[in-house]
Amino acid sequence: MSCINYFTEDVDFTLQHEGTISRWLEDIALSHEYSIETINYIFCSDDYLLDINKTYLEHDYYTDIITFDNSTEPLRIESDIFISIDRVKDNAHEMSLPFEEELHRVLVHGLLHLIGFKDKGDDHKRLMRQKEDACLSLLKI
């Protein structure tokens, strides 16, 4: 049985529709023949994620998500995924999208990385966006 957890670090945030979102993510993993052992989504601030980016990836810039793949077996997902609520809000505003839609996109983006999708280079970015859109169309809230 999969285990998807949601935590916060230094932000006041509560994910709405946790159960529905967890089932949606599980279904996406299963549709790609993956099982979710554990995913810990940690919602945090820009500064918190910047510190992780500097410390673990040696990158000195803000980002909306960092995904750590802790999997030890093929087709079994174990991960910690950090998401900056500040960055998601800013990106949603810049793209004139509802916050929840952008948040759901970022949630599935991390999962898609764990399944093997990349986003470096134009072709990979285009395919990732297509997969995100397809996944978002399956979420019924």
Which regions of 22-99 does DSSP assign to beta strands (E)? 35-44, 65-69, 76-84
Q: What is the overall mean pLDDT for the chain? A: 96
pLDDT, tens digit, for every residue of 48-76? 999 999 999 999 999 999 999 999 999 99
Residue 2 pLDDT greater than 80, yes or no: no
Determine the pLDDT at residue 1. 58
Determine the pLDDT at residue 132. 97
| Average confidence (pLDDT) over 13-26 | 97
Q: What is the DSSP code string of 68-82?
A: EE---STTEEEEEEE
At 15, is the pLDDT very low, low, confident or very high (cuts 50, 70, 90)? very high
Contact 70, 80 (CB under 8 A): yes
pLDDT, tens digit, for every residue of 88-111? 999 999 999 999 999 999 999 999
pTM for the structure as a whole: 0.95
- % residues pLDDT > 90 (the chain): 98
